[in-house]
Amino acid sequence: MASTKTTPSRPAPAWYSNGLRYHRLSRYLARQFGSRVWKLSLDAGFDCPNRDGTLGRGGCVFCDPAAFSPSRRQPAGSITRQIDAAIERLRRHRDIGRFLAYFQPATNTYAPVDRLRAVYEEALAHPAVVGLAIGTRPDCVGDDVLDLLAELSRRAWLTVEYGLQTIHDRSLDWLRRGHHYDAFLDAVARSRRRGLRVGAHVILGLPGETADDMTATARELARLRIDAVKIHNLYVVRDTPLADALARGEVALATLDEHVERVVNFLEHLPPNCVIERLSGDAPAAYLVAPAWCARKGAVRAAVEAELLRRDTRQGRLFADKENIE
């Protein structure tokens, strides 16, 4: 990995004194709630406009909902039954008492508001649930939906996660997202006006994107003061247009070393208080085509942390106040 040793040039955040070099989700949630909190993936049975014919039929080039969400690989059942089953599985291995209900697969604001309210309220009614995380597209949040989320956020912890992937429209077209970057800007602005906590999903290593392109995405997230980021590598699951493109030799995937370098560069430009929820993407072995290294999440995390240490750098080292907005 081509890089030189650097020294953090800005005052270190509180989490840095604990030996971390990025703002990890688990530590953030433990500080927020006073104990460990785990996200439970739930499936409310929502569809996506990029799959139901509104925008398209095949979804994004990388998309197989079952590959991305454990909840879509289990019998659905009611929200309450899904929560109970997930808690039972987790508590076999971990001592965790409180949970976030994470509406993960498909587009979780893509339904009438009455239906959205019903599933969100059912999750919040569970005694072990302390908040909601709602994954969605930036072009699927009408003002009535955001008003509902704002109402719920006044009595429970809540974050809305937008699938951004990149700020570059040419890459969004390649991904077949069905929207451009302006949709994300609009969704963030309207979410901010309601005081909502906002997360973003990004993909590093998209075809045709340079190091400068990826840095530009990081700087935009910093300028917008995005509260949390999930970083993914470009990976391939079976039965998708991306799998077909890989088989034809049209797509090159990052090595582990390349992804680690990109992640560290990305982290350096994000604000120190931005919570990092993921460092890479993965899928179960039955779905994953490539690259094989992304199935080893612990090894990827260890490699990123080792590179941060080797470079003597940390999240936010290159973040500048001028990148923020008032």
Query: What is the C-alpha to C-alpha distance for residues 173 and 175, in angstroms, rounded to an integer?
Result: 5
Question: Sorting pLDDT into bands at 50, 70 and 90, what band is 64?
Answer: confident
Question: Does residue 130 contact residue 100 with C-beta atoms inside 8 Å?
Answer: yes
Alpha-carbon 297 to chain mean position: 15
Which of the two residues, 72 and 307, has the higher pLDDT score?
307
| pLDDT for residue 23 | 96
Interval 101-118 mean pLDDT:
96
Interval 98-110 mean pLDDT:
95
Q: What are 103's strand-pairing partners?
A: 42, 134
Question: Sorting pLDDT into bands at 50, 70 and 90, what band is 322?
Answer: very low
Mean of pLDDT over the chain: 91
Residue 117 sits at the vertex; the CA angle it makes with 116 and 120, to the nearest 5 degrees, is: 85
| pLDDT for residue 225 | 96
Alpha-carbon 2 to chain mean position: 27
Interval 297-325 mean pLDDT:
87
Contacts 24+ apart (CB under 8 A), 284-287: 284/67, 284/73, 287/64, 287/66, 287/67, 287/237, 287/238
Query: What is the C-alpha to C-alpha distance for residues 110 and 297, in angstroms, rounded to an integer?
Result: 30
Question: Sorting pLDDT into bands at 50, 70 and 90, what band is 17?
Answer: low
- The answer, yes or no, to whether residue 67 has pLDDT greater than 80, is no
Question: Sorting pLDDT into bands at 50, 70 and 90, what band is 58?
Answer: confident
Domain covering 14-317, topology: pyruvate-formate lyase- activating enzyme (3.80.30)
Query: What is the C-alpha to C-alpha distance for residues 13 and 210, in angstroms, rounded to an integer?
Result: 30
Interval 287-292 mean pLDDT:
96
| pLDDT for residue 6 | 47
Residues 219-253: pLDDT tens digits?
A: 999 999 999 999 999 999 999 999 999 999 999 99
Residues 128-181: pLDDT tens digits?
A: 999 999 999 999 999 999 999 999 999 999 999 999 999 999 999 999 999 999
| pLDDT for residue 154 | 97
Any idea which of 50-59, 101-110, 150-159, 220-229 has the lowest mean pLDDT?
50-59
Residues 77-89: pLDDT tens digits?
A: 899 999 999 999 8
Contacts 24+ apart (CB under 8 A), 2-11: 2/261, 3/261, 3/264, 3/307, 3/311, 4/311, 5/310, 5/311, 5/312, 6/311, 6/312, 6/313, 6/317, 7/312, 8/312, 8/313, 8/314, 8/317, 9/317, 10/272, 10/316, 10/317, 10/319
| pLDDT for residue 92 | 81
| pLDDT for residue 77 | 87
